[in-house]
Structure 1
Amino acid sequence: MADAALRLTTLAEEVLGAPLPVRIRAWDGSESGPPGAPVLVVRHRRALRRLLWRPGELGLARAWVAGEIDVDGNLYEALDRLSGIVWERDPDTDAAPAVHPLRDPRLRAAARGLLKLGGALPPPAAPAEEVRRRTGPLHTRRRDKEAISHHYDVGNDFYELVLGPSMVYSCAYWDEGEGTLEDAQRDKLDLVCRKLGLATGDRLLDVGCGWGSMAIHAAREYGAQVTGITLSREQAAYARKRIADEGLTDRIEIRVQDYRDVRDGPYDAISSIGMAEHVGRVRYREYADQLLALLKPGGRLLNHQIARRPETDEAAYHVDEFIDRYVFPDGELAPLGRTVATLEEAGFEVRDVEAIREHYARTLRAWVANLEASWPRASRLTSPGRARVWRLYMAASAVSFERNRIGVNQILAVRTPTTGESGLRARTRDWRV
């Protein structure tokens, strides 16, 4: 087959109605596209069959995880260029028609072209790393536990490699200088503790405690009595060992427990850092009600959560297929306004909202750098496909934060007593004071 790259480029541009923003290198060694642009490498014709059977993001994701496509050059630049045609197309204004391929002559012709290039074989099996389509009600206790296990029980050694010594899997808080990832994660944990006004003896519930970093910081630096909960047994075992090594077993308890099953309130403060994304729309009010009930009057909640931009038609919102199948099964992002409204409807007084999306872009780039620096070991610790999932999802997420497709916010809320006194110890928004 001669010049497969040119034929692919031509097909893509016919569908897009615009020049392809990346260069293509095909399995036959041919290249086509804008000189100097990042190169999308199509290593195997099987990738085209995936696109035939699942056009769009899921077909591309399966080909990526299987190693059938790759990027030669700057991955972030390639994703940034592709974002406008893969994730951000506006069907009302963009040239490609938003109809089924069989009902549109241009897309029907493109499908025939892909069929000639890719071969008329059955659809390739999905990579082993993909979660099968789930059925039944969303966000039951069992289904949530299975989803958490898929993402977090990949192996503690793998997460150590990606996250570094801090073992914090959420947005860091960066100074303007050239601090390390560990510095930025320590500063984030300290920021949370200061916003919560933690003091010696305060009872803190850390919801979604991960590998114990927040619990350790709060107990060691602020003298808090901490209960951490997670659904991941691997995380819990790792956290308990760290706590024992720090000599903090008398101040910290780690449980494998669903947040809906916590009954030992009241707490002085609750931290929920990067956990609420797993709760889901159907459970978010229940989540807010439960956390409010676990706080004493005057108790504080710090909810650190990724948010998406609002949709013009919220009913039409759909979960990202790649994220749902490969990264966070059943995870859902809500707009910031909806989260704030739900907390207020539950009875919280929202006292502060800080948007830190640029900090997450920088954090993700640091994680990707860690992963790429130890790529052979990362592939051995999990699988080559799983390592490719993490590289794509973290790099694409960094671009999404940079392009303001998603954000991340820290919401400080209080269970305000009937007296109206908030009980907040910090009287200024300058949390460094």
Structure 2
Amino acid sequence: MTERRVMMIQQGARRNFVYARHLEAANLLHSLVTDAAWPEGDAGSLAQFAARFAPRLRGAIARRTVPGVPSARLRASVLPNLVSTSMSFLHAERAYPLIDEALAWPNRLRGLEGADIVVNYHGNGGSFLAFAKRRGARIVSDFVVTPKYLEIEHEERSRWPGWESDSTSPSVIEFYRKRMSRLVAISDLYLCPSRAVARDLGDLPGFDPARVRLVPYGASGVLLREARPEPGRVLFAGAAGLRKGIPYLAKAARILKQRGMNIAIIVAGRVSPIVRARPETQDLVFLGALDRERMAEEFARTDVFCLPSLAEGSATSIYEALANGLPVVTTESSGSVVQDGVEGLIVPERDGTAIADGIARIVTDRRLRAAMSAAALAAAQRYSDEACGRAFVAVIRKLAGLSDVRLAEPKA
């Protein structure tokens, strides 16, 4: 049996603990260090308690249940959750390091306990990462979003004043940049979900391109319904904000209307009253935030998926679109696996006309739409959760100097 040498550190239930599950299936997981979480065996009694005394907690308990990882390898603490609640008055990027420290210090007291590889999400683990590095561990960091996302938000808020009530100060941008620079310097490998993230990491001091490993995230737990696309129905899924390119999508909707085309652009996701009321967005159809079932129904009805994002890691919604066989119109910065002209079209950023042209091209050319739909389904298989998990494990095995073996599939 493979020696268990890898400690996984993550805050929250990001992607249903997928890396920990794959490490466990490969007999590599030493421990999963996280905030509030429960092994499957304990979740049932917790859910029963919640159903009786706190029904609103049932969903949170389900999300924080770690499938396929035994309790012996789970180091969970509610301390980061308590700190997070008390730090709600801070900008998120100033609060995150404090929350990370709430996870770091209990873990420092326990130490590595035999682990010699530490995998973390975007700096989760705080000072424990430096602690582990000093003791000879190798640090693998998954950069889940472009390190420039705050700079991009700041630029867009300057470009579109009045669209968002939040602000991004230069001091917060600099604070975050220094944090990411420290993570780049300490990491032995950079896991990047897309070339866009690797590109933007290259602007940080100490960046070493030889440490980059491209490992897409894959489609995880997509709920599928029978496809019944309505020609001309275009879906955007996600928070309708500036970072996602919503002003440019709105411009595309206006252009398509002016051309007299029977195309409706549907926005499914959180939207502020400010954005909903803007005169520029009146040609978009806002559905608001949808539950999982309703979102699956929207994907089933969709003809073309569009995400003109300006800053991502690798957008989950695009993997969902591919799994539903949808052609995609998107930007390079979405971090998607979409190939231009194959599964969809890659359009220039901040260009409403290019977005409109791309949507119109696919909607009006049904043979092209059918070919792209077939390619999208094939891509979803290539970038399944299991396939991307195997790629991740292969990177870790190579770092550990282990020969390749046939791996079990993780428990979903």
TM-score normalised according to structure 2 size: 0.30
TM-score normalised according to structure 1 size: 0.29
